Amino acid sequence: MTWRSTRRNNRRWPMSSDNPWQDLLLSEAGYLQAKRVDPSHPHDFFWARNPDGKYAFVLSLKEVPGEWQASIALRGISVRLFHDQKQLQLLLSDSSDWQMFAVLCRDLVECCRAAGSTREVMDAVVSRLLRWQRLLSRGPRRILDEREIRGLIGELLFLRDELLPRLGSRASLFWQGSDGKPQDFVVGATLFEVKTIRTGDAPRIHISSPDQLWAGGLPLYLRVIPLTKCGSQVAGAVTLPHLIESLGRQFTTQESIEAFDNGLAATGYVPLPEYAEFAFTAGSPVWYAVTDGFPMITAERLTAGLVDVKYSIQLSVCAPFLASPDWQSVVEHSR
């Protein structure tokens, strides 16, 4: 497929300041209509549209790239490398997904700003596409609701404030969400469940299953974080996009990067722009040791046939169980 940046008497689509494709004309057969993403960028990225009106994203390379080694399978997006034309092309199958596609494309643009050679550009693109492959692997894309957003923020704050300072880049390896285990984190022989509460609400936490607070004889700690909804400009405010971006830079091995991405994918998170609208400030977390006598429902207490049991716990009755983990022991047993 060749392309043109000139525009003839083709039908024009509605203008939109947010959609980078909608001011592109429908092109002639055999051509893509395109416009440069960022004239100041050292590499040539283009928003483009094919004769069928489908949205495309094109990287025009300075020289013939090496062999395409990666197997990229993005849901709803085809990825093709045209060696003769020195061109990488992404094509979106359903234009209604343009917001997610635009975020993905801008992410590719940013990850290549520091790349020099064609090989470095291709390595950066392949690495980032593989990350998106993991993020988009969990089915239909939707924005999480506010409760789910707060829950994910709580888990990411636990990574940032507790595990990263003690375990470094290995921290993401202990995030258990992608493995379907009942607790959020398992570090060595210690289990951790993270909950958030909204300030101003009745101080209670919601338990999604009897297994969530069942430790099977292992030490289990519950970390409860108060979150206050606020504007994104408030000092100390956190949003999912900024929190994920800052955390992602601290995972430096391929194993830790994949574990972090898999944890995000398991929650259903895809970096859509709407998440920037949900900002919170975090209060001081409170720790509880889930030991004998802690108010909870366990599987062995259920009458046969009861399923999908969910319940809430008033934190006021949990005061006798206030206790922090022995982090020295936890870290020693994590090696």
pLDDT digits (tens, 9 = 90+) for 24-37: 876 666 677 889 99
Dihedrals phi, psi of 18, to nearest 5 degrees: -95, -35
CA 77 to chain centre: 18
Which of 181, 179, 176, 174 is closest to 209 using CA atoms?
181
Average pLDDT, the chain: 86
Residues 282, 226 contacting (CB under 8 angstroms): yes
Give the pairing type, strands 286-289 and 220-230.
antiparallel
22 pLDDT above the threshold of 50: yes
| pLDDT (0 to 100) of residue 29 | 61
- Tell me the C-alpha to C-alpha distance, in Å, between residue 204 and each of 76, 152, 317: 41, 18, 10
- Tell me the C-alpha to C-alpha distance, in Å, between residue 65 and each of 58, 115, 232, 325: 14, 14, 42, 52
54 pLDDT above the threshold of 80: yes
Q: What is the average pLDDT across 234-252?
A: 92
Dihedrals phi, psi of 244, to nearest 5 degrees: -65, -40
Quick check: helix, strand or coil at residue 99? helix
| pLDDT (0 to 100) of residue 4 | 53
Residues 138, 262 contacting (CB under 8 angstroms): no
Lowest mean pLDDT among 7-16, 140-149, 213-222, 246-255: 7-16
Quick check: helix, strand or coil at residue 331? helix
| pLDDT (0 to 100) of residue 220 | 96
Give the number of other Cβ atoms within 10 Å of residue 9's Cβ. 6
Quick check: helix, strand or coil at residue 42? coil
Spatial separation of the C-alpha atoms in residues 145 and 272, rounded to whole Å? 13
pTM of the model: 0.77
Spatial separation of the C-alpha atoms in residues 303 and 127, rounded to whole Å? 50
| pLDDT (0 to 100) of residue 207 | 92
| pLDDT (0 to 100) of residue 184 | 94
Percent of the chain with pLDDT over 70: 90
Spatial separation of the C-alpha atoms in residues 134 and 72, rounded to whole Å? 10
How far separated are the first and last CA of the chain, in Å rounded?
52
* pLDDT bucket at 270, cuts 50 / 70 / 90: confident
| pLDDT (0 to 100) of residue 305 | 79
